[in-house]
A and B are shown apart, each in its own frame.
Chain A
Amino acid sequence: MRKKRIATASLAGCFGCHMSLLDIDERIIDLMKVAEFDRSPLNDFKKFTRRCDIGLIEGGCCNEDNVHVLREFRKNCDVLVAVGQCAIMGGLPVMRNAIMHSEDPLRECLDEAYKASPKVMNPENQIPNDPALPLLLDKVYTLVDVVKVDYQIPGCPPSGDVLWTALSALIKGEPPELDWALIKYD
């Protein structure tokens, strides 16, 4: 049987879900027997080399690049999985969407971070705006706001054991059914 191809991406997430994937520890050796990684920040494939069976996405969308990467994943992966609270519900980054009594939360966040102050030297008083920087979205979006998602694995992050269980099922072509004791929303 040919090895399953897995692609992973971290969008507006903290990389913790990727770290949790590495918490499968030595089982990574078993994983390599049945699967191989395509596009992923864990290797140097910066784009898809071919169609993948499984796409794992950590994080929601906070800028245009995130949206672009997410659409690429949807296009190139048979099964797309939202991994972790950020991908499913927005997580910590989504806290910028609603700031009490604020009409323009993003603007407030940017001002707080960059405006000139005794601690910040910013002679032109400008917010970073170089064309090299992707445009920020008006608010943070979850994955399902942008594309169809096949499965969601909750947790912040889902533990290495949860990811192992889910991935093992997906590799066999089965839906990742988690025992209730494994489902955590922390």
Chain B
Amino acid sequence: MESRKARIVEIEPVTRVEGHGKVTVHLDEHNNVSEARLHIVEFRGFERFIRGRLLWEVPVIVQRLCGICPVSHHIAAAKAMDMIVGVDQLTPTAEKMRRLMHYGQIMQSNVLHFFHLSSPDLLFGFDAAAKKRNIFEVIKQFPDLAKQGVLMRKYGQEVILHTAGKKIHGTGAIPGGINKNLSLKERDALLVDVDLMMSWAQNAVQVAKNYTLDHLPLVEQFANFKSSHMSLVREDGALDLYHGNLRAVDAAGNIIFDQMDYRDFNDYLMEEVRPWSYMKFPFIKSRGNVDGWYRVGPLARMNTVSFIDTPLANQEFEAFRRFGQGKPVSMTLGYHWARMIEVLHCVEKIKELLHDPDLQGTDLRLKGERREEGIAVIEAPRGSLFHHYKVDENDQVTYCNLIVSTTHNNTAMNRAVTDVAKKYLSGQKTITEKMLNHIEVAVRAYDPCLSCATHALGQMPLVVEVLDAEGKIVDRGSQFAEIETPGLT
């Protein structure tokens, strides 16, 4: 591609992410990147068509937005409905069953992302041949590591099966409680492998940590940018994935707000609509729409919380914070390391819960005084997940607003995409498929769930486009003449 006029390169679909997305890279007449955008290309309309449905149906329906972390939507909706049925504190059995389900979910989702989707980039390099960049090749070349990934995900899915009744789209959580406890048989089945999982989870942290430390020159210059971070924290500042108050810190680690009651989130957060994506752009109101963006998810959580309340994960957390010299770690690829620390935390929590007799309790559900409005926030695998509903006296939903985890990272992902495009594509005569994969690596690190993000409008496979100065699509990433086509095996 000689320099003639500005154009746009497209990567479509972005692969090895969950859901459907597309990236466009805007090049000027000198082949320099002026901007790159991540687009969410599908739309659902959930917030409108859920109106009129009955409150007990919501936790079961809403999870169908996302088959990657259905439990997150299931639990967030149930938690919002708890508020509507007037239950502020669940029975110990109910809360612990939900937590167990949630830890199983985060474990399987984080493992899936690291092993099944991202590990090919880390093990084979960002510019490995396209036909090699997949889990099947990892199984071939690193059979032991791959097996650990596959079986850790399986374990997480089994925790979900025994708490929700089904591995995907189960029914465990109901307004005011849960619909089953954990039988001794189920408990014993899960106990068999829990120590093995613990040692594999410790190994996974080392793999992710060593990758970061061994590749520092790369990792430190790859989509590394300052930002604010936000997550729930417990009242004592500990990591709590199921419940807590919101804390946000700025790039230097100073508190923006702390212990903010999430039921007031509309006073703190706002979303901006931009014409080129179905996904909105949330920001912290007090900082405005330009500077108010922030990151969520594993990296953000490691940057916001004061400590982790399980010993093995806390040791790793401390190592992570020492690496950042007490300041928030801002490297996009730091997400992988943080994500594996959370897997270890989840396995520790699962083990602790399996030994808790409350899980065999029989007080499953409570009822209280009816309210009109329910708001819930949980920490889903990819970050803070907000559910907000209003329900009338006929039990029908009259209002719904969801801010899903991936949406909070919208600005950050666009920053990452632009940074990497500028670094690897600017001034290049030929844009190769491998260069484009670097952009996808940056997107993937956020583990974007494009299915969730589509709830409003649609769903997106990841795609990269090249546009000319007039905004005409010159070519699509996968269709470049210069791009090598993945060979046949």
Name the one of B65, B135, B479 contacting A92, with C-beta atoms under 8 angstroms. Answer: B65
| Residues on the A chain within 8 Å of B485, using CB | 49
Least CB separation from A122: chain B residue: B273
Within 8 A of B (CB), among A128-142: 128-134, 136
Contact call A43/B45, Cβ cutoff below 8 A: no
Docked complex Cα distance between A128 and B43 (Å): 10
Q: Which has the most chain A C-beta neighbours within 10 Å: B67, B151, B169, B459?
A: B67
Name the one of A17, A110, A132, A186 contacting B22, with C-beta atoms under 8 angstroms. Answer: A132
Name the one of B49, B52, B168 contacting A23, with C-beta atoms under 8 angstroms. Answer: B168
* Shortest beta-carbon distance from A133 to chain B in Å: 5
Given contacts A26-B151, A46-B15, A109-B49, contact A14 B489 (CB under 8 A): no
Given contacts A96-B44, A121-B289, contact A132 B66 (CB under 8 A): no
Indicate with 1 or 0, residue by residue over B35-74, a CB within 8 angstroms of chain A CB atoms: 0010101111111111010000000010011111010000
Contact call B273/A120, Cβ cutoff below 8 A: yes
Q: Does B478 contact A (CB under 8 A)?
A: yes
Given contacts A10-B19, A42-B116, contact A23 B167 (CB under 8 A): yes
Indicate with 1 or 0, residue by residue over B120-152, a CB within 8 angstroms of chain A CB atoms: 000000000011011110011000000100110
Docked complex Cα distance between A134 and B377 (Å): 31
Given contacts A12-B458, A20-B168, A121-B270, contact A133 B488 (CB under 8 A): no
Q: Does B18 contact A (CB under 8 A)?
A: yes
Least CB separation from A45: chain B residue: B486
Contact call A46/B12, Cβ cutoff below 8 A: yes
* Shortest beta-carbon distance from A45 to chain B in Å: 6
Contact call A93/B44, Cβ cutoff below 8 A: yes
Contact call B15/A44, Cβ cutoff below 8 A: yes
Contact call A32/B276, Cβ cutoff below 8 A: no
Docked complex Cα distance between A68 and B353 (Å): 48
* Shortest beta-carbon distance from A85 to chain B in Å: 9
| Residues on the B chain within 8 Å of A148, using CB | none
Given contacts A105-B49, A128-B278, A136-B458, contact A26 B154 (CB under 8 A): yes
| Residues on the B chain within 8 Å of A160, using CB | 167
Q: Which has the most chain A C-beta neighbours within 10 Å: B19, B151, B157, B168?
A: B168
Q: Does A113 contact B (CB under 8 A)?
A: yes
Interface residues on A, range: 35 or more
Q: Does A99 contact B (CB under 8 A)?
A: yes
Docked complex Cα distance between A186 and B451 (Å): 20
Within 8 A of B (CB), among A118-176: 118-122, 124, 126, 128-134, 136, 156-157, 159-160
| Residues on the B chain within 8 Å of A120, using CB | 270-273, 280
Q: Does A71 contact B (CB under 8 A)?
A: no
Within 8 A of A (CB), among B22-41: 22, 24, 37, 39, 41
Q: Does B210 contact A (CB under 8 A)?
A: no
Contact call A96/B136, Cβ cutoff below 8 A: no
| Residues on the A chain within 8 Å of B166, using CB | 159, 186
Given contacts A15-B19, A19-B68, A37-B134, contact A44 B437 (CB under 8 A): yes
Contact call B150/A14, Cβ cutoff below 8 A: no
Q: Does A179 contact B (CB under 8 A)?
A: no
Docked complex Cα distance between A91 and B44 (Å): 11
Within 8 A of B (CB), among A77-106: 91-93, 95-96, 99-100, 105-106
Docked complex Cα distance between A65 and B487 (Å): 25
Contact call A32/B275, Cβ cutoff below 8 A: no
Least CB separation from A66: chain B residue: B42
Contact call A43/B16, Cβ cutoff below 8 A: yes
Docked complex Cα distance between A24 and B37 (Å): 35
Given contacts A44-B16, A47-B478, contact A63 B41 (CB under 8 A): yes
Given contacts A15-B18, A109-B48, A109-B49, contact A91 B64 (CB under 8 A): yes
Given contacts A42-B135, A157-B67, contact A25 B130 (CB under 8 A): no
Q: Does A22 contact B (CB under 8 A)?
A: yes
| Residues on the A chain within 8 Å of B272, using CB | 120-122
Contact call B273/A114, Cβ cutoff below 8 A: yes
Contact call B61/A28, Cβ cutoff below 8 A: no
Least CB separation from B476: chain A residue: A46
Indicate with 1 or 0, residue by residue over B431-447, a CB within 8 angstroms of chain A CB atoms: 00000010000000000
* Shortest beta-carbon distance from B470 to chain A in Å: 11
Contact call A25/B471, Cβ cutoff below 8 A: no
Contact call B47/A112, Cβ cutoff below 8 A: yes
Contact call A134/B488, Cβ cutoff below 8 A: no
9 inter-chain pairs at a CB distance below 8 angstroms, sorted by A residue, are: A10-B461, A14-B459, A32-B140, A41-B15, A44-B133, A95-B45, A126-B273, A126-B275, A133-B278
Given contacts A15-B19, A22-B153, 18 further A-B contacts (CB under 8 A): A16-B64, A23-B167, A25-B153, A26-B147, A36-B136, A41-B16, A42-B116, A43-B134, A44-B16, A46-B477, A49-B485, A49-B486, A50-B488, A105-B48, A111-B48, A113-B43, A113-B278, A159-B166
